[in-house]
Homo-oligomer: A and B are copies of this chain.
């Protein structure tokens, strides 16, 4: 096992206990050389990477060659870029796996994980959130939104889930609190950038005055599951894995 931390994104303290190297994101020559030096054949992409400015990339020679291969995809949505990155790794002879392929129970399951359950108002908010997240995913933007009493309080783009939750406290109306909905984008390659729910997400949702979090079962990483569920229960939030029935169009606006 060998870790490559992307400079400016990976936390060196987290990587320190393991064999690793920290490399610039577009020093692709160095990245591929390091993977080969350590005999790596299978790769797993983990954690969020804020897309760098094209003017700030400073690719090495191999990076410049790969950038040319990626080409226009670098200007498309995140999915286009990630799909191109996976393609390039495959062309270089590596196999890119999803985190769920090597880590049992990484993905959240269908159904209720918390002691608190969503009531009818929360279920209606979840349905509206699903419709909104779907529409956003179709144009390759974000994966999350917050809905309260039928109103979309916030939609996630580059700021990420935690920052979106942080602004919801001031946007919330009195009365029953809202819900956070996180889905996979339609057609998203599940090897890249799956939505992640963890204890911090639950704490942020509680601070935002929300009543729960709903995620796409089998499509979101549930990090530190026991701690996340405990955080939900401590704050009397629901934590709910949406199955195929919950995600069908049928329920929408009903």
Q: What residues of chain A have their CB less than 8 Å away from a CB belonging to chain B?
A: 50-56, 74-78, 124, 131-132, 135-136, 138-139, 141-142, 145, 149-159, 163, 167, 171, 173-176, 253
Contacts and interface: CB of A to CB of B under 8 A. Distances in A.
21 contacts: A51-B173, A52-B173, A53-B174, A54-B149, A54-B175, A55-B176, A75-B149, A75-B150, A76-B150, A76-B253, A78-B151, A131-B139, A132-B136, A135-B136, A135-B138, A135-B141, A136-B136, A141-B145, A141-B155, A155-B156, A163-B167
A50, A52, A55, A158: residue with the most chain B Cβ atoms closer than 10 Å: A158
A65 to B, nearest CB: 21
A75 B127 CA distance: 12
A158 to B, nearest CB: 5
Given A174-B56, A175-B55, A158 B163 contact: no
A208 to B, nearest CB: 12
Contacts of A163: 167
A50, A52, A138, A159: residue with the most chain B Cβ atoms closer than 10 Å: A159
B132 A141 contact: yes
A139 B135 contact: yes
